Amino acid sequence: MAIIRATVLETAHPQIGAALMENSTFVAHPWRRLHNTFLSMQRMCGADDAVRAREAARLNRLHARLSGTDARDRPYDAMDPHVRAWVVATLFESAVTMFRLGGQPLDQDTMEGLYREFQEFLTAMGDEAGHLPATLQEFWGYYDRVVDEELENTEALRVILYKLFDHLPAPALLEDLPTVWAAGRAVAGPVIGAITVASLPESLRRRAGLPDFPGARTLTQGAYLVAGLARFLPDGWIKAEEVAGLLTLSPDSDDPRARAVGAVRDGVKRAGALIRLLTPIPDQREPAATPRPGRTAEEFFRTVLDQTGDGHVEWPDLAAMARELSLRLDLDEPEETRLYDAYAAWWKELQTALDRDGDGRVSAEEYAAAVPGLAGPALIRLADVLFDATDKDGDQSIDADEYRALFRTGFHRDPAHTGSAAYSRSAFVKEFLSFMTGRQRSRAYDPLLAQG
């Protein structure tokens, strides 16, 4: 809840809101975004200085690629030190609020120690500590000023509060239980939205015209109090990063947690089937559809190519793919740049072939009217670059560990049929091209690029 609240406060800043709407996958792939956020926080807040420095360098490279102008022609730049300071400020203030609403308010000394740690977080990113006030006492004046003078009712804020919660896609492990997920979301979505709104600063709620539902503040405090009771559970029972990782696991993963959740999911499905048998309702089920080897052009466009979920394919969509792959493989700067360059070349190839009206982007109609199976030299080159990045030991094959690093799923290679448990360059390139041109689904690439 604190992360959601901090995210809303971030998106209310016009520069951050514009950067998110133009470049982020938080609408189409929220679970992936959540998992990656926790992974980054783990690296930045861990005890290993080398890991922290490596992650800070990765974040700086990511932010350096995010700049442009918003709908009102105002510039945004993710490397703006004042903007980055606001992100850290929202995390600190939301943590303090979380403790307060959860019935365990921080004393002054603890709060000051926590504030120093967040200042160090900013310093680790290479920014001057002075972009945040030097003392905690000065921080509250800075925080109130930004809320009162700089935050707006941005499009990104409205999307989170009024669209994302109501249309949140099911996590990978629950995708085959759409009715159960939709029923739970119909109840939980509005509640989460009301709790988040009620926890925001009053001046922001008033200026953004956010509704103040009767009893919402009481509900908010109650929700935080209930969540705060988790501190009485045994150590290790609930860890946010473990929950986030669980939600992004593929059903095909060989992770023991995936098998356990899969067993529960199968039990729910059997219970549902039993209820249908006992319920005297005429059977109106349609014949089971045979599995399709591929997707329709519209489905492939929506689930794979349109990573940002805005209805068009532009460079930020392909950059999002490069960003996800770079994070999965924990690439260094040279390899990461090579992968981004390969995606940039593929974008130029797509633009040339599919952008019929010359508006600099590809619509679903333009894609469907062209040849969905398009596989030009740039896409083939991209497959080769991705293979090289995945093949860490350079032996021209991908073993089980390298496979899991990329896909987070089981190593589905049958030596009886392939002749080798390794994954050769030709096999890798063939499967990647088949997936990226919409010719066939893939239980490896679907969780990587298609699922939320």
Q: Based on the fold, state whether residues 302 and 209 are members of the same structural domain.
A: no
Q: Are 60 and 53 in contact (CB under 8 A)?
A: no
| Per-residue pLDDT, 289 | 38
Q: Which of 197, 14, 200, 189 is nearest to 93 (CA)?
A: 200
Element (H, E) at 76: strand 75-77
Please state, in angstroms and rounded to a whole number, the distance separating the CA atoms of residues 188 and 196. 12
Determine, yes or no, domain membership for 14: yes
Determine, yes or no, domain membership for 97: yes
Count of structural domains, the chain: 2
Rounded to two decimals, the pTM is: 0.82
Q: Based on the fold, state whether residues 227 and 305 are members of the same structural domain.
A: no
Chain centroid to CA 168: how far? 12
Please state, in angstroms and rounded to a whole number, the distance separating the CA atoms of residues 248 and 451. 9
Q: Is 106 exposed, middle or buried (0-12, 13-18, 19+ CB in 10 A)?
A: middle
Determine, yes or no, domain membership for 238: no
* Torsion region of 126: left, alpha or beta (phi above 0 gives left; psi -120 to 50 gives alpha): left
Q: Based on the fold, state whether residues 53 and 175 are members of the same structural domain.
A: yes
Determine, yes or no, domain membership for 59: yes
Please state, in angstroms and rounded to a whole number, the distance separating the CA atoms of residues 422 and 168. 37
Q: Based on the fold, state whether residues 7 and 148 are members of the same structural domain.
A: yes
Element (H, E) at 423: strand 423-424
Provide the domain limits for residue 374: 297-450
Strand 397-398 relative to strand 362-363, pairing: unpaired
Determine, yes or no, domain membership for 274: no
Q: Are 176 and 250 in contact (CB under 8 A)?
A: no
Strand 67-69 relative to strand 75-77, pairing: antiparallel
Alpha helices in 102-215 (DSSP H): 108-124, 136-149, 155-159, 178-199, 202-208
Q: How far is CA 193 from CA 89, 207, 213, 227, 370, in A?
A: 22, 17, 11, 16, 40
Determine, yes or no, domain membership for 246: no
Residue bearing tokens 């669209």? 163
Q: Based on the fold, state whether residues 210 and 345 are members of the same structural domain.
A: no
Q: Based on the fold, state whether residues 169 and 301 are members of the same structural domain.
A: no
Q: Based on the fold, state whether residues 226 and 302 are members of the same structural domain.
A: no
Residue 316: what residue type?
P
Q: Based on the fold, state whether residues 167 and 301 are members of the same structural domain.
A: no
Q: Based on the fold, state whether residues 336 and 220 are members of the same structural domain.
A: no
Q: Are 258 and 249 in contact (CB under 8 A)?
A: yes
Domain boundary among 178, 207, 231: 231
Q: Based on the fold, state whether residues 147 and 22 are members of the same structural domain.
A: yes
| Per-residue pLDDT, 415 | 44
First to last CA, the chain: 19
Which pair of tokens denotes residue 166? 């109501």
Q: How far is CA 213 from CA 3, 156, 158, in A?
A: 22, 22, 17
Please state, in angstroms and rounded to a whole number, the distance separating the CA atoms of residues 15 and 71. 11
Determine, yes or no, domain membership for 395: yes
pLDDT one digit per residue (tens) for the chain, 452 residues: 888 899 999 999 999 999 999 999 988 888 888 888 888 988 898 889 999 999 999 999 999 999 999 989 999 999 999 999 999 999 999 999 999 988 889 999 999 999 999 999 999 999 876 789 999 999 999 999 999 999 999 999 999 988 888 888 887 767 777 787 888 888 888 888 888 999 999 999 998 888 877 888 888 889 888 888 877 877 766 666 666 666 666 666 666 666 666 666 666 666 656 555 655 544 444 444 344 456 788 888 998 999 999 999 999 999 999 999 999 999 999 999 999 999 999 999 999 999 989 999 999 999 888 766 577 899 999 999 999 999 999 999 999 899 988 987 777 655 444 445 678 999 999 999 999 988 888 888 888 888 77
Please state, in angstroms and rounded to a whole number, the distance separating the CA atoms of residues 247 and 341. 31
Q: Based on the fold, state whether residues 92 and 168 are members of the same structural domain.
A: yes
Domain boundary among 231, 247, 266: 231
Q: Per-residue DSSP letters for 86-116?
A: HHHHHHHHHHHHHHHHTT-PPPHHHHHHHHH
Q: Which of 426, 452, 425, 449 is nearest to 438 (CA)?
A: 449
Q: Based on the fold, state whether residues 92 and 17 are members of the same structural domain.
A: yes
Q: What CATH number does residue 331 fall under?
A: 1.10.238.10
Instruction: Determine how many CB atoms are found less than 10 A away from the CB of residue 73.
Output: 6
| Per-residue pLDDT, 285 | 45
Determine, yes or no, domain membership for 251: no
Domain boundary among 231, 253, 277: 231
Contacts of 54 (CB under 8 A, 6+ apart): 43, 330
Which pair of tokens denotes residue 260? 């356990």
Q: How far is CA 29 from CA 296, 307, 318, in A?
A: 20, 7, 14
Please state, in angstroms and rounded to a whole number, the distance separating the CA atoms of residues 283 and 136. 65
CA atoms within a 13 Å half-sphere pointing along the CA-CB vector of 329: 27
Q: Are 25 and 169 in contact (CB under 8 A)?
A: no
